[in-house]
Amino acid sequence: MKTGLAGRTVVVTGGTANIGRAIALAFAAEGAGVVIVGRDDVQGRRVCEQLAAEGAGGTLWHAADVTDRAAVGDMVAAVHARFGGVDVLVNNVGGNVDMDAFVDTDPSTWEQDIALNIRSTLNCTHAVLPGMISQGSGRVVNIGSTSGIVGDPLLAVYSAMKGAVHAFTKVLAKEVGGQGITVNAIAPYGTLPEDPDRDVSTGSRWHPSGVFARLAATRAEQMHSIGRRTLLQRQTAYPAEIGAAAVYLASDAAAFITGQVLSVDGGTQIA
């Protein structure tokens, strides 16, 4: 498949670990210029080296907290200075900070889930859209979740925010389609890092100090209770499979696809 991505500039938020890293590597293999954004400087520089080895047409690591509007503005300015503009934005930052029945949640954690999952997406999209509109083209790919479609018990706020990402995807697609911009989302289920030592940043939920490791050590049975069965032999996706979906939605081959939520879930919704 000819993707047409060589020479285009792609920004991947949360690009230092797991899904984000795999997405960045997938675009690098297409010869795109790849910008990764995150908070772990050591891992960011390491991933940039991997992107260059994969064939990226230029790389940039930019440390930023994308829940902060000013930091996002600085990031976009740095991308324009280095590459001249943004052709593809992948809003990958997301996550949850805890897991409980909603009635038992600590309200102080709600804002963190809201900021990680929807505010980051709003901030980055709002910052890059004027440039895409000016050039008359662009691709926005939002990373949602099957949690935002079916709802996961013990993850009420996270599920609600991923649902918000999906709704935002559809509305924005309606607003900017006439200006040459497509907007789609990917809804993964159960994606695990292939090599935790290589693929995980300090901010990842899969880091040894992250929320999943903490919950696995203290409430493993409760974590297991929200799992869903796939229709396949394995129960989790590979990060590279999410990367392949992102490349497709950003490619010339998907120019007539917009406002869609593509589930990469092994059939969990019909199992």
Q: Given 158, 189, 238, 248, which residue is catalytic? A: 158
d(CA 45, CA 36): 9
Residue 158 appears among annotated catalytic residues: yes
Q: How far apart are CA 20 and CA 118, in angstroms?
A: 16
Decide if 15 contacts 88 (C-beta within 8 A): no
Rg over CA atoms, the chain: 17
Collapse the DSSP code of 37 into the 3-class scheme (helix H, G, I; strand E, B; otherwise coil) and give the result.
strand
* Structure-block tokens of residue 227: 């799992």
Beta bridge mates, 91 = 142
Burial of 175 (0-12, 13-18, 19+ CB in 10 A): exposed
Pair 50, 26: CB distance under 8 Å: no
Q: Is-contact 67 115, C-beta < 8 A?
A: yes
Q: What angle do CA 206, 199, 81 make, to 5 degrees?
A: 115
Q: How far is CA 132 from CA 138, 141, 177, in A?
A: 5, 14, 11
Beta bridge partners of 13: 37
Catalytic residues, by residue number, are: 158
